[in-house]
Structure 1
């Protein structure tokens, strides 16, 4: 069956022009003039000659990394066709990712892709496994190895989709200075700069030691939605579809001056409107601020026009590496890396519903006259909410500072024909969230309003900004620390001879302690029934809960490599892992008000274990053909947060209509029509590990001396996948999910509101299948050396089964799915290079993302796409099912070696200035609208120059 799928897919790709690009088969060891060095490659614990193996490992050398034009590790990973489904800086800014940038192989997810530095684990940015790539300086990277196959049988949990291994520089002797400058053509906004220096001391071979010291500094300037034509209109972006004019109409009822909503009226009152009134507009006839649009008697705010597309970034990194040959059979190593990474993330000014005191002077002077003018009796109003946008506070701006420390030390040697390594790793990420602008103290804001100092029903001005300034927050909101301590011992040796060579055994054991500490400020924790005196952050999260949790684990593995014949080898690996229950020093229980009450410390969750295995084979019937395959199992333990998360506020939902509930339902009185409702979150101590099976089948064919073809068919199936119910499912299907509806005391509004619980369960199943290709053609002539490399991934399947009753399998390839993500059918890269001499080299690279079905829009549920009238105004809401166009870029690069000590590289990214394709999505990927910044670069055409000097 596998062979039939592979054959059919290969024919399909050739027929549609979708294929071509890769690495040549390594030359045989017998053809080398010198004895090849045995090395340990990603995906195996046994040192062997670095040739094409049974596992699909892609290696990017330093020169290949430079050819991509990438300036950061995240940019490099994003450029690989096998990567999709990761967190980008734009999504992180507007989507709550706290400034992180991650990796995800084959779209399986960032928590299923293991990231290593020099083959060793790195501290994640939270309680899971996802690593913030922003903490890895690209200037310190010597090469990158990407294993696009599951590797739990060697590495344990989290390697279901594969492994990315960043190999850092070592044993350098020269003093090297590097710089990079890149700027968009349209404006300097979004420009990047990089400066790096490194110096090595000693030669490991002749002197017996080497010390390498390196420092780098990176910066990226912010890019705003207002800086690009395709995003500057935000929620009122016009577009054409099928020759007809439409427009997005995604505006917020949270406005400045504030809108008010009379939620309830006295019994018998004829007019009971909750449609909203903007007192300023009613009394003055207009909405006075930019990005504010009139709608009947209220003003709606275009929040998406005020957000960032790319954040301001700064990174300082220091790397030190020391290697010492103690004797011929023993080497000591130590490496340390410290990174300070700052992400200044800004999105829309704070939006907050607030209760209105109907006996206040504010109501009588600023609100009642508007209702009177409209013909309503304001004395009949019994409950009112103000929907306020604090434009005077500025856009919500967080300065995320991440201090990363990574230290590894140990010994490598050989004892009685056993290659061994013992190592210790300490790795830590400490993230600090400090508000720069936009966030406000609830107590101070209310005091300013009650005293008449600040009037939210006036047009913003220098005077209102000054009046609000005392309420704007600037103190630290939250500090989180993620830490791992790992002790490892592994060894490998040849055991016996087979017809194809020596059979080798690799053994290993490791122990790890993972710790996660979250220390939110009192402001971030907010007020509760038990602590009504606490202040609350307007515009940010509330209900944050302190965490001090840790979990111990250990694992052991064995790997046997057997060259059965010269043409055929087998590899078998098995691993056992054991995870203790989570130890939490900050336990909580719920009181009668759903408030958290401290409950000491103790264990949460259950002890968990898993046994995994992997079988791999490589067959070389001729010197020019390699056929390989593998099959194995994997697992992923629940994150500590999955298990320990207390009942707490989890942010705001997307905009939904209130669920359809019977009039006598106990929560029916909380109906506020369409708005962003509150979300709640809570861990599940009964979660168990996710389990997977994965396999691959592929070949490498060197049809001609300079031409190679490579395909790998792969498949991953995950069961017991940990998921929460989607927001759309929860809000639109009350018949099945009303058990997750709550009456929640909102500490900012200081009243009960409607909230929906999202709790993780082992409820889902996922199946992924695709084909990776990798082809290369090289030739020389009188004009120089030429090479063409085509790599890509063709997704055959990305099927999700939510596990909820009545749900069918959701086929997500080539469409915007129910979890607001896209799995592209095809991602590919075609790279060509020309080297006319040793001094000059040039390259052209074509990147391609296939089209996909956009988010389906419902006129009744979403109400975000409208017909567009001749005057540019919105007509009626419509259903919309459209296709997002394919996206491609062409990059140019030229490199000049002026001497052996000076190299200058210049290039153009996105040569044809291709805009990101339009998307009507209203969820996923952050708060900007008109495009999906997760999948296309908003910078446009960019020019860059790179210098490298050696002394």
Structure 2
């Protein structure tokens, strides 16, 4: 035990980071007199056990009370409330936006893969082959506090901690029983409502009984929210709006429609592109379809979910056993099952059409005659279908997370030490719930005349197609890590300002990633040469993955109080990574060959220097400079070349040559995806970074705390696949990436672009974080104002060394992302009495330049004076700023029973309109990654402790 002085306690409270919950870390707490007995603790970003004030790190600390004040119901919701967080994956991205049921964290918009997430200071299994963790697997009810380090920490934690660290500290050493019930409901209806029940119980007093066991269970649900549930999203891809005094409409429609469209060719030349149902009947007839020329186009954006249905069950156990006064055994286990059921538009698929079939003769030939096209000249035909009868494509993304940590913690020979073994795994399953369709069964139904895709859907056509709809697993991935670590710290000598402290540590780990696609997700390949079925509306051409890698690292940290008020810290770490072992090794033709060790082994030394200077009691000045690195993820090396799905809509990039015949005008084209298994000069090497911070904390008067931090991060040799838009918008530059690929679903050759990772890119991020707290005691109670924020100065990326630098701050960039110039949060808290506390919170996000669209994008039309559709046009515009106000009242009846009620989005502010057509999920009319579509919500939380 150590004495905490008034000075160290004051600095500790200043140093607590963002002070997110106004008033809970206010200045009066700093003014308490007298010494207190506190334990040495290990704070995020340091391996030395000490009083939390003694470092020079920009750590934001959220207590349980602060977490509750945010009104967050999930860990992902909590992360989204922090101004320092940008660029994370939201649940809306699972709606056909590559989210895959995942929700992540990202410090300073630097990226999910550069933000290390820890559980009780230890690594947790990622959701894929890298390091990014699915926050949905962590139950918020089990979290006691959160520490966010907004500075690079590779010199302590190794790879991946370039942007910062988010450390979730779970409950422990409690004897109470707690029951907590939460219900959150939008004012516009039950769609999107959430509920939670959490139960926990502790057994044994660690000091009195020599042990403590903590058990916790929680169940969370959120109902789906559909585009039709909100006026700003209900129009989907046909969304009128005004800009600069002129009227336009988003006109983002798909050629994959119902009834199906057809394109016929005489070999290489397109003879006609039309909708047989429209030509034969005079109208499109089906819901969400629009007549454009001789075709029917489908408004897919009107059929999607804004938020998927979510369910989570989480179990947590923590045990501590006192072996003796100097030695403790600890164990912690977490099991979580999370399901995200995401639905988007019905299956959309181009398919080849047999010109000798009855289907062609009965539906297409009469239309050709009406159009004046000689059917005898037709050599090939392709139909663009939208299988509305199959229902919306619905993925049941199921994540099963298991985490076990066993260890010893003790004090011997002057060392505070701990050793632990961690086994953590994450199993993700993609289940086809609805919409996806068997290609073989669909083909058989059409050949038999049972199903006709060229007529308007009815109950009969839905019944006819039902037997072809898939209800099965599509893919199963398993990610595992096993870690053994040992670390210790102690005082080693007396310096001018006090005892210098040293920490030493080492860790060894093994990471394994397995991907087991279902046969229908693979399609015909060398593993199943006689397989014929494909997933219409989904991907095909997947291949299994079984990769692993071992690595070890060692570090040292030295803290020296050079003189009174000046402390200098140095960190040094060395990491060694093996090359990747690939048990499922495929050649470029997709044939399984002998297992191999691929890529390069790598080693890296990183360091960090930091200093904290306290010239007077109420001022802290701090600075740091360090280096970091990030190892290539497993699949960057070993992923076989597979079908990467469809691109967005692009003009055909080919103007001449043999590939020209594969052009379909402004359309979706194919993508090939794979790893880089090369060694040597052509192989992947670790990304490297340099980061620096300088800041201060000052308390000029009682009840006032002001803090600023300027930070800077530069990353080189970033592993990147060229952005899809970059490749298609600059075809001459990337012509070598385009090729012909036989698509087993379409049963014909299609134009594809290959996207392979290399150490191509660099980036530079810079910004200012601040946190201020102002307190005022009155006869009505205590008022506290807390103001936090992040102002981005730079978010620059360079795809290639020869390319110009692209700035992303305040604009929709070529990577389809936005970095907000300013995100700020202010909270006024009124502590009316010990029992009653009220708070009002405002969160502001600055506006930005919207996704620029050109006439060739075919996404915006000018509206004529009579409201009719005009020509396709290009448009540059700005998205408005977004401010949301929240209210909360907390009533503590007694020490055991508390009720909290609140209103989120008090003024029911709708998300600002955006014309973006890429990035995130399939929602249109706004950007679901940066705004909340739920609108005003009322919530109630009841907590009882006994």
Q: Match for residue 449 of structure 2? A: 452
The 5 Å alignment of 1:855-866 reads 855-860=851-856, 862-866=857-861
CA positional deviation for 1:21: 8.2
SS at match of 2:148: strand
Q: 1:232 aligns with which of 231, 234, 241?
A: 234
SS at match of 1:94: coil
Task: Mark the CA change 1:125 to 1:20 in structure 2 (over 3 Å): closer, same or farther.
Answer: closer
Q: How many Å separate the matches in 2 of 1:440 and 1:486?
A: 42
User: Is 1:916 aligned to 2:911, yes or no?
Assistant: yes
> Contact 2:475–2:518 at 8 Å: present in 1 too?
yes
CA positional deviation for 1:532: 5.2
User: Is 1:692 aligned to 2:689, yes or no?
Assistant: yes
CA positional deviation for 1:676: 0.8
Q: How many Å separate the matches in 1 of 2:26 and 2:381?
A: 71
The 5 Å alignment of 1:765-784 reads 765-784=762-781
Q: 1:136 aligns with which of 135, 138, 157?
A: 138
Provide Cα deviations, 1:790-816, integer angstroms capped at 9, x if missing partner.
Answer: 0000000111111164x2111111000
User: Is 1:786 aligned to 2:786, yes or no?
Assistant: no
Q: 1:716 aligns with which of 710, 713, 735?
A: 713
Q: With structure 1 as the length reference, what TM-score do the two structures score? A: 0.95
Q: How many Å separate the matches in 2 of 1:388 and 1:256?
A: 6
SS at match of 1:563: strand
CA positional deviation for 1:602: 1.5
Q: Match for residue 678 of structure 1? A: 670
Provide Cα deviations, 1:585-634, integer angstroms capped at 9, x if missing partner.
Answer: 100113xxxx3000021111110111000000000000000000000000
Task: Mark the CA change 1:337 to 1:939 in structure 2 (over 3 Å): closer, same or farther.
Answer: same
Q: Match for residue 549 of structure 1? A: 547
Q: How many Å separate the matches in 1 of 2:654 and 2:262?
A: 24
Provide Cα deviations, 1:12-49, integer angstroms capped at 9, x if missing partner.
Answer: xxxxxxx9989668988995422332100000000111
The 5 Å alignment of 1:847-926 reads 847-860=843-856, 862-926=857-921
Task: Mark the CA change 1:30 to 1:176 in structure 2 (over 3 Å): closer, same or farther.
Answer: closer
> Contact 2:346–2:390 at 8 Å: present in 1 too?
yes
Q: Match for residue 14 of structure 1? A: none
CA positional deviation for 1:850: 0.3
CA positional deviation for 1:949: 0.4
Q: How many Å separate the matches in 2 of 1:917 and 1:681?
A: 34
SS at match of 2:915: coil
> Contact 2:853–2:874 at 8 Å: present in 1 too?
yes
User: Is 1:840 aligned to 2:836, yes or no?
Assistant: yes
Task: Mark the CA change 1:326 to 1:704 in structure 2 (over 3 Å): closer, same or farther.
Answer: same
Consecutive unaligned residues of structure 1, counting only runs of 5 or more, are 1-18, 267-271
Task: Mark the CA change 1:324 to 1:174 in structure 2 (over 3 Å): closer, same or farther.
Answer: same
SS at match of 1:392: helix
**Aligned-pair Cα RMSD in Å:** 1.6
Provide Cα deviations, 1:38-77, integer angstroms capped at 9, x if missing partner.
Answer: 1000000001111263110010001110010000000000
Task: Mark the CA change 1:29 to 1:946 in structure 2 (over 3 Å): closer, same or farther.
Answer: closer
SS at match of 2:624: strand
Q: How many Å separate the matches in 2 of 1:617 and 1:741?
A: 52
> Contact 2:798–2:805 at 8 Å: present in 1 too?
yes
Provide Cα deviations, 1:300-356, integer angstroms capped at 9, x if missing partner.
Answer: 000011011100000001111101111110011001010011110111100000001
SS at match of 2:562: coil
Q: How many Å separate the matches in 2 of 1:186 and 1:30?
A: 47
> Contact 1:420–1:489 at 8 Å: present in 2 too?
yes
SS at match of 1:669: helix
> Contact 1:92–1:101 at 8 Å: present in 2 too?
no
SS at match of 1:82: coil
Q: How many Å separate the matches in 1 of 2:267 and 2:159?
A: 57
Q: Match for residue 385 of structure 1? A: 382
Q: Match for residue 667 of structure 1? A: 659
Q: How many Å separate the matches in 1 of 2:42 and 2:598?
A: 38
Consecutive unaligned residues of structure 2, counting only runs of 5 or more, are 1-19, 678-682
> Contact 1:29–1:36 at 8 Å: present in 2 too?
no
Q: Match for residue 57 of structure 2? A: 55
SS at match of 2:228: helix
CA positional deviation for 1:759: 0.8
Q: Match for residue 629 of structure 1? A: 623
Q: Match for residue 646 of structure 1? A: 640
Q: How many Å separate the matches in 2 of 1:264 and 1:217?
A: 60
> Contact 2:28–2:703 at 8 Å: present in 1 too?
no
Moved more, 679-688 or 706-715: 679-688
Q: With structure 2 as the length reference, what TM-score do the two structures score? A: 0.96
Q: Match for residue 276 of structure 2? A: 279
Instruction: Count the aligned residue pairs.
Output: 920
SS at match of 1:855: coil
The 5 Å alignment of 1:53-132 reads 53-132=55-134
> Contact 1:20–1:791 at 8 Å: present in 2 too?
no
Q: Match for residue 705 of structure 1? A: 702
Q: How many Å separate the matches in 2 of 1:863 and 1:523?
A: 33
The 5 Å alignment of 1:530-679 reads 531=529, 533-590=531-588, 595-662=589-656, 665-679=657-671
CA positional deviation for 1:723: 1.0
Q: How many Å separate the matches in 2 of 1:25 and 1:491?
A: 34
Moved more, 456-465 or 764-773: 456-465
The 5 Å alignment of 1:431-446 reads 431-446=428-443
Task: Mark the CA change 1:670 to 1:243 in structure 2 (over 3 Å): closer, same or farther.
Answer: same
Moved more, 616-625 or 681-690: 681-690
> Contact 1:171–1:212 at 8 Å: present in 2 too?
yes
Q: How many Å separate the matches in 1 of 2:257 and 2:54?
A: 60
Q: How many Å separate the matches in 2 of 1:170 and 1:29?
A: 29
Q: How many Å separate the matches in 2 of 1:29 and 1:290?
A: 67
> Contact 1:316–1:340 at 8 Å: present in 2 too?
yes
Q: How many Å separate the matches in 2 of 1:52 and 1:904?
A: 37
> Contact 2:647–2:669 at 8 Å: present in 1 too?
yes
Q: Match for residue 153 of structure 1? A: 155
Q: Match for residue 493 of structure 2? A: 496
Q: How many Å separate the matches in 2 of 1:398 and 1:334?
A: 35
User: Is 1:949 aligned to 2:941, yes or no?
Assistant: no
Q: Match for residue 5 of structure 1? A: none
SS at match of 2:92: helix
SS at match of 1:715: strand
CA positional deviation for 1:265: 5.4
Q: How many Å separate the matches in 2 of 1:26 and 1:570?
A: 29
